[in-house]
Each structure stands twice: as structure tokens, then as C-alpha cells.
Chain A
Amino acid sequence: AQSVTQLGSHVSVSEGALVLLRCNYSSSVPPYLFWYVQYPNQGLQLLLKYTTGATLVKGINGFEAEFKKSETSFHLTKPSAHMSDAAEYFCAVTRNSGNTPLVFGKGTRLSVIA
């Protein structure tokens, strides 16, 4: 079975400050890992994903995440927060084969303070 734990249901940062959203996963097989962003009353937008290869993954809007197998982590970072980054962020995991669904973390709400 696979699972995702997102530490911190709510993170608040000042505009221009570093954004760090934590995600730890559990998987008995090599995982595919994803970060999604959700704005109010909207669907999910893919920020970035890790499948194979380079462990530092760059995504849209200046976000990046690093896959650390030894720590079973896939934390999301952004050097400088913008007001427009305020949203709900979901980490998700799936198997690396087959048509399997995503397993989502509980989400982290990011607030950006002016």
C-alpha cells in the first residue's frame, strides 16, 4: 500500500520568503511522486512530478522538489513566495506501473502575508 503524509495543514510565509512544504511517502514499490496546486473551487493543476532520473525536479511557477529515497521525502520549495502562491497544495504518490490511481496527502494550505 502507498500513503502520503504532509506535515502541517497550514503554512504561512511572508511575501518574498522561502516556501517549504513537506511531504513524506510510503511505498513498497518505486514511486511516482507529484505535487498539485488547487485554487478555491477549482480542479488540480500539476506543479511538478518525479518519475525516474534526476532527483531534483523543477516545475512551474518557480517551484521545485527533491526526491530523497533515503528519507522517503519529496518536499516542495520555492525561493521567494508571491501573493499568487496562496492556495492548497497536495502531494500524491502512485505506482510506477499500471493504470493506478493517485493517493493524496491531506493537503497544506499556503498563506502568503504581504
Chain B
Amino acid sequence: GAVVSQHPSWVICKSGTSVKIECRSLDFQATTMFWYRQFPKQSLMLMATSNEGSKATYEQGVEKDKFLINHASLTLSTLTVTSAHPEDSSFYICSALAGLGNEQFFGPGTRLTVL
């Protein structure tokens, strides 16, 4: 089956630093990837849609200058949280769209803790 990986699986950083999270489709090409954010005991909220070779589309209320998304290849999308603050602490999950049927395959998530 289609496999999506994320790296790192967890990261702790100091306030003000930047953190890069990678999302890779391991055995398929994904022209579209999605980035979601999940707060404790809550649902997944879409942050942005990442399209290979073009600018990401951000959801309302998501700061594009703070959450930089780069989809440079058909198998890799990155999310960079710039100048992270404690309120950015969350579980970040990516998904990649594969083939027909609009099925998304999810990565295992990255837990970000900003001190």
C-alpha cells in the first residue's frame, strides 16, 4: 500500500527558532499533499494544500509567512514553522493524495513542543 513518512516524529525547540518537518511519499508520486494540525483531544484542521511546483494554498487564518510550505518534488513536501512560539506546539500531520478515488494517505505525524 501507499506509505507516507514524516520526519522528525517529535521535536522540542526553543521559542524563536525555526523547525522543518518533512513529508515524503515513499512508494508513489503525489502532486498534492495536505498539512493538518491537531491540538490535544481535538480534530484535524487543514492548514494548507501543497501542490508540486506551485505555491501552497493556505486556509483562512493560517499565516503563510509563519508556516512555510515547499513542495519541490513529487515525493516531498516540507513545512517550516518559523520563529516558533509555545502556542505553535501541536501535532502536525501530512497526507498525500494518490491515484483515483481521492484517497489520502497519512503520515504518522510530528509532535512539536516549543519551550
The digit string for B4-37, where 1 denotes a CB below 8 A from any CB of A, is 0010000000000000000000000001101000
A-contacting 9-mer, from B60-68, B69-77, B78-86, B99-107 = B99-107
Residues of A within 8 A of B103 (CB): 46, 49
- Would you call A43 and B102 a contact (CB within 8 A)? no
- Would you call B43 and A32 a contact (CB within 8 A)? no
Residues of A within 8 A of B (CB): 32, 36, 41-46, 49, 51, 90, 94-107
Residues of B within 8 A of A (CB): 6, 31-32, 34, 42-46, 49, 51, 91, 93, 95, 97, 101-109, 111
- Listed from nearest, the 6 A-B pairs whose CB atoms lie closest are A43-B108, A99-B32, A44-B106, A43-B106, A43-B109, A104-B43
* A39 smallest CB distance to B (angstroms): 10
